[in-house]
Chains A and B, each alone.
Chain A
Amino acid sequence: NAGVTQTPKFQVLKTGQSMTLQCAQDMNHEYMSWYRQDPGMGLRLIHYSVGAGITDQGEVPNGYNVSRSTTEDFPLRLLSAAPSQTSVYFCASSLRRSLYGYTFGSGTRLTVV
């Protein structure tokens, strides 16, 4: 199993540009989430999904958009990149009720200049 695959690993954007961070999992997990990690802030939830066709906002959703058309894929779209979105982004997935927590992708380091 590949687990959770995130692409790209690194990205530099100019202010105002848009892009999509890709996330795919092959474990048939119902739950998928996007987090951003900033120094001293831990991981904060951006958006999440509890199944195909169902998404909801997390703690810091502004400037991001998501959709979930399949169980496997959960892309994160930056609509108009801003320097405040410079961060490390993690995608994660989990079964609905699981003691085993979430499986994380390897992260994307995004820099907006």
Chain B
Amino acid sequence: AQTVTQSQPEMSVQEAETVTLSCTYDTSESDYYLFWYKQPPSRQMILVIRQEAYKQQNATENRFSVNFQKAAKSFSLKISDSQLGDAAMYFCAYRSYGGSQGNLIFGKGTKLSVKP
């Protein structure tokens, strides 16, 4: 079975600075998807960024980028120019590529605080 580990329960960053959230996963599959979700105090789950395992190029969405290291099974999220609105819980998630095993497997989350 696949597992996802987020080793940082809480992180803090100064506004306008850069922060990196860590995520590692365990799988025997070669094709899969990885995601970062943001959960602000409103409770809504918001998809931040996604990565297909067969693509070596790291995904980027505006101020958010990932460092995907397939061999190391690592998928970290970098937030540049942090803003107060980035304060939230961040969840790393894994999804098998196909078949019936298409559920999301989540890490336990990292709570990010942004200091003004």
Contacts and interface: CB of A to CB of B under 8 A. Distances in A.
Contacts of A94: 102
Interface in B2-36: 9, 33, 35
Interface stretch (A20-28, A35-43, A66-74, A78-86): A35-43
Contacts of B52: 99
A104 B102 contact: no
Give the dominant DSSP class at A's interface.
strand
A33 B104 CA distance: 9
B: contact size bracket: 20 to 34
A45 B2 CA distance: 13
B91 to A, nearest CB: 6
Nearest to B47: A101
Given A35-B106, A50-B100, A106-B44, 7 more contacts: A33-B103, A42-B91, A42-B106, A43-B104, A96-B102, A99-B33, A101-B50
Interface string A32-70: 010100001111110010100000101000000000000
Given A40-B9, A40-B108, A58-B103, A97 B97 contact: yes
Interface string B71-112: 000000000000000000001010101101011111111000
Nearest to A40: B108
B98 A97 contact: yes
B35 A101 contact: yes
Nearest to B1: A59
A42 B109 contact: yes
B102 A101 contact: no
29 contacts: A31-B103, A35-B106, A40-B9, A40-B108, A42-B91, A42-B107, A42-B108, A43-B91, A43-B104, A43-B106, A45-B103, A45-B104, A50-B102, A58-B103, A88-B43, A90-B45, A92-B104, A96-B98, A99-B50, A100-B47, A101-B35, A101-B50, A101-B104, A104-B44, A104-B45, A106-B43, A106-B44, A107-B45, A109-B43
